Amino acid sequence: MGVRRRNRLATWLLSLLGILATGPGCAGNFQNDPQVEAFIDEMVQRHHFDRAALQKLFAGARKREDILEAISRPAEKTKPWYEYRKIFLTPDRIEGGVRFWRRNADILERARKAFGVDPAVVVAIIGVETRFGANTGSYRVIDALSTLAFAYPPRSKFFRSELEEFLVLAQEEGIDASKATGSYAGAMGYGQFIPSSYRNYAIDFNKDGKRDLWDSLDDIIGSVANYFHRHGWKAGEPVAARVNSRRNIPDSLLSDSLEPERTAADFAREGISSTPPMPPQQPVALLKLELKDGPGYWLTTRNFYVITRYNRSPLYSMAVYQLAEAIRDAYHKSRS
């Protein structure tokens, strides 16, 4: 074999090793990236991080093309309600919710007393997010947040902020920033808290000196309940009710924000009622979702809006609500 051919073969082998080293879906690292260097400067100045430690961390971080693909096609934006619903309202997930509730009934009751949040909704959130902890995400958080902060311009500002929050969180909680895993968007633990939510809403519910959303079911359940409490969950109030009529309702009556601005009595005067009926003075919003045979309508309350603070999609909020109701029914039947 000639020298030139051997050199070409050596170059090809080195390239192949480089591809393999980055793992599936990866496309290089962030070492010497000017954006990263500027970010490191900010972290050193703002939070007194060790520069060399951050440079080492980012030298090992990987840009992942599969993350960029996943963030561009979330199910909430690509599926109509009647298809989206099928993802979460399944017998397996409902039965899993019943088992989770049984195993953690004492913690859920303690969280209900502390925060006034419906246990069924807490269980449903964990079921929607991670199948009750079965799938908390296999992406390294440093890879996910670095990819989205430095290689995804549409939301780079948001994810740079979350990357900053993650590094501060890791320092505060003693988390190894190079090993923590989560979703493709950097959400962590059973409840899939993004770093800013972890820092602001996670709690040490078992009083062991740390907030652990991967392994402490006390902290996991308490933190989800605290999140809803802090966003204004109202104990004992309904969440949503199906509108009785399937006629086309004027879009002018719909609410873009889902924050209730009218009462159920206001909608009743427009000929809009629900089953079960809402109390006349209950503040509600009107929501339209796509069913297979046309539009469907719901009256939704402040508590429905609070669920959208966890994920802004009304499809997500409706899936959580309906899963919570299904789990509650199955749980109580299993005890009778």
Residue among 333, 332, 335, 327 at smallest CA distance from 95? 327
CB distance 306 to 292 below 8 Å: no
Q: What are the residue numbers of the active site?
A: 129
Distance between CA 179 and CA 67 in Å, rounded?
17
Distance between start and end Cα atoms, the chain: 80
H or E, element range at 247:
none
Over its C-alpha atoms, the chain yields an Rg (Å, rounded) of: 23
Residue 313 token pair: 């999609």
Cβ contact 240:298 at 8 Å? yes
Query: 326 by DSSP, 3-state: which?
Result: helix
Query: Rounded CA gap, 207 and 203, in Å?
Result: 9
